[in-house]
């Protein structure tokens, strides 16, 4: 790789040990991918915020000991826990200690305590064409596909290195030629009534992820007036069933206003379609719960927006969560402050809904919560729930989640794609 004089000076240790280590990791990454040089990024989103193993904590603390601070605005993905309401979340002392140490390390690095996996809604939001380095698969897919910013799928710890240096190797989705769609996915027999139902978008995303894998795909047929939260659910699902970093939603993705634009003038190598039958099969796949009972309902994966909380409070108005069910919502600190001020939080609490910030419901403490089955309006959560936590799950709309939480029994409304 061609290195600038500044890069060489950092590698010689002139900006301290943290910067030397961080840059040497980035250079190794660049050499692995034959990148010609490093390039500047304007911001970073760190995904290495969950305590998984001791090594992750040790890496963050070592970087602080060695004088590491972020060189560009840097936001943080969720911790595993609610860092403020950890008592209500029944966080065991040992887990709390690890996460508090991680929190301290990132704050000492001068990262921004966003603690959210939807930083594109409340974080340091990039613009079209901006070169960034983000971790967290749903955020990466959203940044590339919906905003048109440019990032690779940066792995944990690599994101810390990028933040300390403010640069990444020039490769992958940072380059125009690698953003070309090689595959075209079309909607077949999917009606406008189906597309008006918010619950279809995570299912479409899940199917697209399965079809695309790690390839860049173009999807036609998504209406231009689709809600931003539907796109959030779509991207989260696509990046969990496949390794999707970018998919072009034709007419929505800024660099795919037409199909020709994202195919870069060539023909797709493969054309696939999504049908109502495929959507029904996906729903079945996202149900491992065998009986009609659940004891946990989870929304906010990725973190809920203000619009989603308004919808939720409207749906639960006058009702109460069943005594056999725990109903969790996860959101970010900004939205939490708003709903605390405007009374939504009080209404949700009165209905028996527990609202948390900072954390990731997939990482809930199993030592203190003993669930048998969960319902969620997140295809990502339903997809990972059994494989990562051994907990059966079922996907449903937000309406299904509220009704299920209130009745204490699974309720699924008839969706338009069930009738085809
Ligand atoms: Fe966010 Fe955790 Fe879901 S990080 S996207 S809430 S799995």
pLDDT tens digits along 399-415: 999 999 999 999 999 99
302 CA: nearest ligand 1 atom: 5
Separation of CA 302 and ligand 1 centre (Å): 5
How far, in Å, from the CA of 380 to the mean position of ligand 1?
8
Please report the atom of ligand 1 found closest to the CA of residue 300: 6
The per-residue pLDDT for range 3-58, each reduced to its tens digit, is: 999 999 999 999 999 999 999 999 999 999 999 999 999 999 999 999 988 999 99
The predicted model gives 360-385 an average pLDDT of 97
Closest CA to ligand 1's atom 3: 301
86, two tokens? 């950890």
**Token pair of 160, please?**
């810390």
**Pocket residue to mutate for ligand 1, from 138, 229, 241, 384, most atoms within 8 A of Cβ:** 138
CA 280 from centroid of its chain's CA atoms:
24
Distance (Å) from CA 239 to ligand 1 centroid: 12
Mean pLDDT of 234-257: 98
Atom of ligand 1 nearest to the CA of 330: 6
Q: List pLDDT tens digits, range 298-317.
A: 999 999 999 999 999 999 99
**How far is the C-alpha of 123 from the C-alpha of 148, rounded, in Å?**
16
The residue to mutate among 119, 302, 385, having the most atoms of ligand 1 within 8 angstroms of its beta carbon, is: 302
Query: 132 and 41 in contact (C-beta within 8 Å)?
Result: yes
Q: What is the 3-state secondary structure (H, E, C) of the chain?
A: CECCHHHHHHHCCCCCHHHHHHHHHHHHHHHHCCCCEEEECCCEEECCCCCCCHHHHHHHHHHHHCCCCCCCCEEECCCCCCCCCCCCCCCCHHHHHHHHHHHHHHHHCCCECCCCCCCCCCCCCCCCCCECEECCHHHHHHHHHHHCCECCCCCCCHHHHHHHHCEEECCHHHCHHHHCCCEEEEECCCCHHHHCCCCHHHHHHHHHHHHHCCCCEEECCCCCCCCHHHHHHHHHHHHHHCCCCCEEECCCCHHHCCHHHHHCCCCCCEEEEECHHHHHHHHHHCECCCCCCCCEEEEEEEEECHHHHHHHHHHHCCCCCCCCCEEEEEECHHHHHHHHHHCHHHHHHHHCEEEEECCCHHHCCCCCCCCCEEEECCHHHHHHHHHHHCCEEEECCHHHHHHHHHHCCCCCCCCHHHCC
Q: How far, in Å, from the CA of 301 to the mean position of ligand 1? A: 5
What is the 96 CA–ligand 1 centroid distance (Å)?
A: 19
> What's the CA-to-centroid distance between 297 and ligand 1, angstroms?
15
Cα–Cα dist 234/228, whole Å: 10
Mean pLDDT in residue range 314-336: 98
Pocket test for ligand 1, best of 205, 303, 304, 385 (most atoms within 8 A of CB): 303
Closest CA to ligand 1's atom 1: 302
**Mutation test residue for ligand 1: of 52, 380, 388, 389, the one with most atoms within 8 Å of CB:** 380
**Given this model, what pLDDT does residue 70 score?**
98
Measured from the CA of 136, which atom of ligand 1 is nearest? 4
Q: Give pLDDT, residue 371.
A: 97
Q: From CA 387, how far away is CA 391, in angstroms rounded?
A: 8
Q: How far is the CA of 117 from the centre of ligand 1 (A)?
A: 6
pLDDT at 52: 86
For residue 387, the CA-to-ligand 1 centroid distance in Å is 15
Model confidence pLDDT, tens digit, residues 350-369:
999 999 999 999 999 999 99
CB 381 within 8 A of CB 298: yes
Interval between CA 276 and ligand 1 midpoint (Å): 27
Structure confidence at residue 132 as a pLDDT band (50, 70, 90): very high
Read off the pLDDT band of 419 (50, 70, 90).
confident
pLDDT at 420 over 90: no
Q: Which residues contact 87 (CB under 8 A, 6 or more apart)?
A: none
Q: Pocket around ligand 1: residues whose beta carbon is below 6 Å from it?
A: 77-78, 117, 138, 236, 301-302, 330, 360-362, 380-381
- pLDDT tens-digit readout, 72-88: 999 999 999 999 999 99
Contact 45, 139 (CB under 8 A): yes
Q: How far is the CA of 318 from the centre of ligand 1 (A)?
A: 29
Atom of ligand 1 nearest to the CA of 137: 5
Q: Which protein residue's CA is at the shortest distance from atom 2 of ligand 1?
A: 360
């Amino acid at each position: 790789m061609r290195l600038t004089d500044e890069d060489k000076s950092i590698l010689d240790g002139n900006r301290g040990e943290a910067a030397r280590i961080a840059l040497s990791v980035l250079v190794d990454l660049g050499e692995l991918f034959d990148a010609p040089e490093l390039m500047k990024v304007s911001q970073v989103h760190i995904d290495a915020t969950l305590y998984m193993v001791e090594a992750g904590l040790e890496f963050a603390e070592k970087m602080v000991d060695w004088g590491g601070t972020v060189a560009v605005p840097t936001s943080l993905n969720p911790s595993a826990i609610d860092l403020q309401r950890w008592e209500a979340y029944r966080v065991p002392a040992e887990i709390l200690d690890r996460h508090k140490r991680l929190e301290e390390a990132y704050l000492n690095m001068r990262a921004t305590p966003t603690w959210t996996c939807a930083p594109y809604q409340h974080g340091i939001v990039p613009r079209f064409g901006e070169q960034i380095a983000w971790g967290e698969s749903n955020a990466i897919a959203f940044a590339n596909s919906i905003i048109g910013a440019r990032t690779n799928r940066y792995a944990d710890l690599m994101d810390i290195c990028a933040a300390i240096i403010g640069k990444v190797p020039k490769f992958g989705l940072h380059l125009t030629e690698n953003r070309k769609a090689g595959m075209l996915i079309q909607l077949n027999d999917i009606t406008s009534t189906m597309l008006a139902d918010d619950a279809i978008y995570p299912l479409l995303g899940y199917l697209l992820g399965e079809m695309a894998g790690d390839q860049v795909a173009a999807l036609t047929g998504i209406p231009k007036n689709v809600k931003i939260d539907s796109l959030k659910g779509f991207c989260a699902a696509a990046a969990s069933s496949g390794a999707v970093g970018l998919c072009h939603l034709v007419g929505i993705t800024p660099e795919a206003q037409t199909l020709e634009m994202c195919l870069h003038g060539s023909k797709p190598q493969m054309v696939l379609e999504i049908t109502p039958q495929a959507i029904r099969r996906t729903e079945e796949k996202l149900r491992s719960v065998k009986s009609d009972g659940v004891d946990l309902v989870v929304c906010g994966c990725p973190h809920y927006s203000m619009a989603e909380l308004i919808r939720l409070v409207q749906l639960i108005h006058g009702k109460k969560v069943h005594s056999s069910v725990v109903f969790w919502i996860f959101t970010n600190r900004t939205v939490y402050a708003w709903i605390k001020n405007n009374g939504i939080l009080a209404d949700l609490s009165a209905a028996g809904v527990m609202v948390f910030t900072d954390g990731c419901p997939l990482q809930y403490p199993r030592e203190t919560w003993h669930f048998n089955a969960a319902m969620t309006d997140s295809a990502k959560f339903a997809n990972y729930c059994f494989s990562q936590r051994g907990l059966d799950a079922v996907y449903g709309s937000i309406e299904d989640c509220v009704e299920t939480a209130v009745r204490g029994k699974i309720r699924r409304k008839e969706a338009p794609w069930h009738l085809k």
